């Protein structure tokens, strides 16, 4: 079995001092993820030190470790393990001939990344790589690069940020051949002046574009002109996507089909009809970004259409479950991983399309919204009303303002409850549920609403 990294490659990339000799087949910084023959990075964080888990990593099968203090196991000693991880990420990017795609945006990053991976992995017959989970920050991105096999044809990397300047640093590591911005919305807006500043921070992804790279932009965004101007500083290859008639890759027609959507799209001069397995208007728009990226990266549009028809739901990001309720069943929409105003609107809209029983929305607080947090939360009353939600279960301090809005009775469901924690919400929900109900669970990850999903699905989320 060809190693992911030989010992000589690791030593050259990190510039460390060796103790022992080892090749590795995987890379991780979490000792619980270590498998036989893997490399363990002992990273130091604000709350913990990876050196405490070196022994556990080797007990789990690690072949070697990158450390900043000597350990009684095969290792490479460096002055800073985080810098060594970044160096290995740079080395991975330097050695690959793969087309590299970077995906960012205020919402839809993970879904778009997964759909792109499915499309390009199908086309390349297993020679595509992507970042797993939501490894999209200053640690996750170089780790994901370090995990990329040398002989890949495509690499797809999710890239996130909370502050200006963070995307610039990530883009210069990834150096994407194709850079996608899915959408601009007030996610993490407490760290920015306004949405325009968020657009500028996301547009930093273009600063790392490889020579001749392509920028892919959301044509329907009110910030499109701003994003395009930013992209034009670094490339002349720009593709727009969305519903707009002016978009280079656009939706021509769409209609519901078997829980998903049947779409006809125009991709430059080509027409493509395909079934998208994921429901919701936001998924329709993001599927156009996928087609644009496949086109820019030299993939196959037909393979992309087939892949998007076969995609399963993503845990925490739209996965759908049939759940047992008493002697009957109901449906659960799992959107528990994260939330911002844009994604809240999209998923409440999905709930509004449910048929056959009551519609229940379990909504957790949206975090990092700054001074306008109350405004963004109270504004959810209208979408809940439009979706004809029968019961709204609101969780967290920030949701108190929405509870007051619903109490005033201007619009929104008359039947609602507010509680502080996911545990309280679960108890209320279990007493309320009836067969045929459809339940949406949506909130910022820190609210812990995934525990509700686990309880209702028997741990299958």
Instruction: Check residue 145 and give its pLDDT.
Output: 98
CATH code assigned at 178: 3.40.1190.10
Pair (428, 405) in one structural domain: yes
Are 301 and 333 in a shared domain? Answer: no
Q: 192 and 111 in one domain?
A: yes
305 and 342 assigned to the same domain = no
Burial class (CB in 10 A: 0-12, 13-18, 19+), 356: exposed
Same domain, 64 and 187: no
* Gap between the Cα atoms of 304 and 128, Å rounded: 13
Q: Give yes or no: residues 331 and 385 share one domain.
A: yes
Dist CA 335 CA 338 (whole Å): 7
> What are the φ/ψ torsions at residue 414 (nearest 5 degrees)?
-75, -25
pLDDT at 282: 86
Domain presence at residue 416: yes
pTM, entire model: 0.84
Domain assignment of residue 211, yes or no: yes
> What pLDDT does residue 461 have?
53
Which region holds residue 54: left if phi is over 0, alpha if psi is between -120 and 50, else beta?
Answer: alpha
72/117 same-domain check: no
Could you tell me if 336 and 407 lie in one domain?
yes
The C-alpha atoms of residue 117 and residue 108 are separated, in whole angstroms, by 14
Burial class (CB in 10 A: 0-12, 13-18, 19+), 18: middle
pLDDT of residue 47: 83
* Cβ within 8 Å of residue 337, ≥6 positions away: 110, 134, 315, 316, 317, 445, 450
Q: Does residue 90 belong to any structural domain of this protein?
A: no
* 376 close to 405: Cβ distance less than 8 angstroms: no
Task: Verify that 69 and 215 share a domain, yes or no.
Answer: no
**Whole-number Å distance between alpha carbons of 339 and 17:** 44
User: Distance (Å, rounded) from C-alpha 174 to C-alpha 136?
Assistant: 11
Residues in the chain: 461
Give the containing element (helix H, strand E) for 67.
strand 64-67
The reply to whether 1 falls in a domain is no
Choosing from 279, 310, 341, the residue where a domain stops is 310
Among 251, 280, 310, which residue terminates a domain?
Answer: 310
pLDDT in tens, the chain (461 residues): 899 999 999 999 999 999 999 999 999 999 999 999 999 999 998 888 999 999 999 999 999 999 999 999 999 999 999 999 999 999 999 999 999 999 999 988 999 999 999 999 999 999 999 998 778 899 999 999 999 999 999 999 999 998 899 999 999 999 999 999 999 987 777 788 889 999 999 999 999 999 999 999 999 999 999 999 999 999 999 999 999 999 999 999 999 887 789 999 999 989 999 999 988 888 999 999 999 999 999 999 999 999 999 988 777 778 889 999 989 999 999 999 888 888 899 899 989 988 889 999 999 999 988 888 999 999 999 999 999 999 999 999 999 999 999 999 888 898 999 999 999 999 999 999 999 999 999 999 899 999 999 999 987 65
Range of the structural domain that residue 31 is part of: 7-81
Concatenate the DSSP letters of all residues of 340-397 into one string.
Answer: -HHHHHHHHHHHTT--SS-EEEEEEPPPS-GGGHHHHHHTTHHHHHHTT-SEEEEESG
Q: Give the β-pairing of 328-335 and 178-181.
A: unpaired
The per-residue pLDDT for 460 is 61
């Amino acid at each position: 079995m060809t190693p992911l990294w030989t010992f000589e490659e690791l030593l050259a990339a990190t510039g460390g001092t060796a103790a022992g000799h080892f090749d590795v087949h995987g890379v991780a910084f979490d000792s619980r993820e270590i498998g036989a023959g893997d490399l363990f990075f002992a990273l130091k964080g604000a709350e913990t030190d990876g050196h405490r888990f070196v022994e556990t990593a080797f007990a789990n099968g690690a072949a070697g470790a990158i450390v900043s203090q000597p350990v009684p196991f095969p290792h490479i000693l460096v002055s800073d393990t985080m810098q060594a991880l970044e160096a290995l990420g740079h080395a991975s990017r330097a050695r690959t001939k793969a087309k590299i795609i970077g995906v960012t945006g205020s919402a839809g990053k993970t879904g778009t990344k997964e759909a792109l991976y499915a499309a390009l992995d199908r086309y390349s017959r297993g020679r595509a790589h992507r970042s797993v989970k939501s490894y999209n920050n200053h640690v996750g991105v170089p780790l994901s690069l370090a995990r990329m096999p040398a002989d890949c044809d495509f690499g797809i990397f999710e890239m996130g940020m909370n502050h200006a300047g963070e995307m610039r640093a990530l883009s210069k590591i990834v150096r994407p051949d194709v850079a996608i911005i899915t959408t601009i919305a007030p996610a993490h807006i407490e760290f920015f002046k306004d949405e325009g500043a968020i657009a500028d921070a996301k547009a930093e992804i273009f600063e790392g574009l490889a020579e001749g790279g392509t920028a892919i932009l959301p044509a329907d965004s009110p910030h499109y002109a701003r994003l395009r101007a930013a992209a034009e500083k670094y490339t002349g290859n720009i593709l727009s996507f969305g519903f707009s008639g002016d978009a280079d890759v656009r939706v021509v027609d769409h209609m519901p089909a078997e829980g998903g959507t049947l779409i006809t799209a125009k991709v430059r001069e080509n027409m493509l009809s395909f079934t998208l397995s994921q429901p919701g208007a936001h998924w329709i728009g993001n599927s156009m970004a996928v087609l644009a990226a496949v086109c820019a990266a030299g993939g196959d549009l037909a393979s992309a259409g087939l892949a998007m028809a076969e995609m399963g739901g993503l845990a925490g990001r739209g996965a759908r479950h049939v759940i047992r309720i008493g002697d009957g069943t109901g449906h659960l929409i799992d959107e528990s991983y994260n939330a911002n105003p844009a994604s809240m609107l999209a998923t409440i809209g999905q709930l509004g399309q449910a048929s056959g029983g009551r519609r229940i929305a379990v909504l957790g607080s949206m975090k990092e919204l700054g001074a306008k947090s109350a405004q963004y939360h109270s504004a959810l009353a209208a979408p809940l009303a439009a979706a004809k939600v029968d019961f709204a279960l609101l969780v967290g301090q920030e949701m108190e303002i929405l509870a007051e809005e619903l109490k005033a009775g201007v619009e929104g469901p008359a039947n609602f409850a507010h509680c502080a924690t996911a545990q309280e919400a679960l108890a209320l929900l279990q007493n309320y549920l009836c067969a045929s109900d459809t339940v949406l669970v949506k909130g910022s990850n820190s609210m812990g609403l995934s525990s509700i999903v686990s309880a209702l699905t028997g741990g299958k989320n």
